Amino acid sequence: MYWSPLKIRGITVRTRSLIALSTLTAATLLLAGCSGTDGKTGDDAEGTAADLCSAAVDSGTASEEVDVEGDFGAASTATFELGQQVDEAQRSVLSEGDGDPIADGDYVSYALSAFDGDSGERLGDAGYTEGELLPAQLTADAPLGQLIGCASVGSRLSIVFPTTDDAAAQFYILDVLDVVPTAAWGEEQAPVDGMPAVTLDDEGVPSVEIPEGDAPTELQISVLKEGDGVAVEDGDTTLLQYHGVGWESGEVFDSSWANGAPISSEGNGYVPGFVEALAGQKAGSQVLVVIPPALGYGEGEINDEDLTGQTLVFVIDILATMHPAAA
């Protein structure tokens, strides 16, 4: 099996070129970036297991016999027998956390230290600095889900990638930091007079009521919930939920809630008004923004197909943000 290199945040990891790459973000692909891990799962089933526990790759001698120095939540140092021939991916729980077990579909924040299997050289660390990685959604058929499994929050894992014809095994010490909510969790703020009214259902899904009167001609931003996480900076890639309504029609034109999952766009490649609404806001915040056409999809005759000429209303839940990698 041939593995090709993938470099994320300065760490080069290998991906199997013969298997299609996942469509998740690069952060999600940090360890595998492919649709399988070449390791045996807990039930040794031929197909992907139905849940994270049984989908997790098995423990092995290489992943078990690793000595680790360093506290959970900080970059670690790993010592292991050098030059091992590792034939398949392995995963061992070094210390079990006291948080809830990860469930299929959870968005998980994690961090890791990586080491070369022949030299023991540190390949890099990722996720221990705020805003360095986005949370990854873990599912039983996703590579990272098979490597982390249903580990409890607070767990530290030893993960080993197999030896290839032209490269040594790779050893990872991975910390399961937290499960990230899929709705804003910040402290509620007083609504602003004249702005659209927002109500939330039990799952956090918003509904918007447009006030009477003409649409504003300037950008309007209101913080509905103020979070306590990392603030969004220029060039960030932000994990978020959104709910978009046209001011003129009062109708929903797009919603990540209806589409089934939060989204992220590299470098926050959204319309200018949307980007301005994100700037400086902290993870956990919910922001209401009214975007005039000039800062949306352009001025002109109102067009339902491409939103030209429309004043747009968005409710945005900011779940996490990743700063651009240093040059």
User: Measuring CA to CA, which residue among 256, 260, 234, 230 is closest to residue 314?
Assistant: 256
Q: Decide yes or no: CATH 3.90.79.10 for domain 3-180.
A: no
User: At 3, which helix (H) or strand (E)?
Assistant: strand 3-8
Q: Which residues contact 202 (CB under 8 A, 6 or more apart)?
A: none
**299 confidence band (pLDDT: 50, 70, 90):** confident
Residue with tokens 């799962």: 41
Arithmetic mean of pLDDT, 315-326:
95
Helix (H, G, I), strand (E, B) or coil at 189: coil
Question: What letter would DSSP give residue 88?
Answer: S
CA dist 27 and 49 (Å) reads: 23
Classify the C-alpha dihedral 319-127-10-141 as positive or negative. negative
Token duo for residue 92: 């061992």
pLDDT in tens, 233-287: 999 999 999 999 999 999 999 999 999 999 999 999 999 999 999 999 999 999 9
Check residue 39 and give its pLDDT.
57
Whether CATH 3.10.50.40 fits 187-322 = yes
The answer to whether the 3-180 and 187-322 domains have the same CATH topology is yes
In the block, tokens 């409710």 appear at 315
Structure tokens at 154: 């607070």
Per the structure block, which two tokens stand in for 54?
């049984």
In tens, the pLDDT along 186-225 reads 999 999 999 999 999 999 999 999 999 999 999 999 999 9
Taking only the tens place, the pLDDT of each residue in 81-133 is 999 999 999 999 999 999 999 999 999 999 999 999 999 999 999 999 999 99
Residue ranges of domains in the chain: 3-180, 187-322
